[in-house]
Structure 1
Amino acid sequence: MFGALAQYERALIQERVVAGLAAARKRGRIGGRPQAITGEKLEAIVAALDGGMSKAAVCRNFGVKRTTLIETLARVGWTGSRGASSR
């Protein structure tokens, strides 16, 4: 009996959460952690990489982790002018 009530309550909670997230999306709220590299910083990083700076140097100069840099570059579709792999 209690199991059925708990299962029902869990379904109600899940419904409310999904409805709340949908309402937040309609209001323009984007969930999750904010992007570490955006806007002008991203443009400066891409310019530095296109200018021949290594990814390690970019990470040191801009204060970002290598993983963050590589994931951000993949997200924006940067392939690199030298055609080198990410390692």
Structure 2
Amino acid sequence: MARTPLLDLPFDGRRLRAARRRARLTQEQLAQRCTDNGTPVSRFQVVRAESCKNLPHPDVLDAFLEVLNCTVNELLTSAGEVTRESA
């Protein structure tokens, strides 16, 4: 079965990291709580999302939002901000 395409959102991994830290969770704990809530997430996926290497899959983004108790707008870049680091 084909996976749902990634959302075209100005996602900002730095904001994900800040939200995770505000929740006082490690990357492993965030991944485990997402998995416990029904969306399998690995620590590697958290690392890639926080470092702006990959946009999270919509299901994973939803899991992050639920565990971190935040809105999608809190993880989006403001107008004019750079969303990805240059490779």
TM-score (norm 2): 0.31
TM-score (norm 1): 0.31
**Structure with the larger helix share:** 1
Instruction: Choose between structure 1 and 2 for higher RCO, CA contacts under 8 A separated by at least 6 residues.
Output: 2
Query: Which structure has the larger Rg over C-alpha atoms?
Result: 1
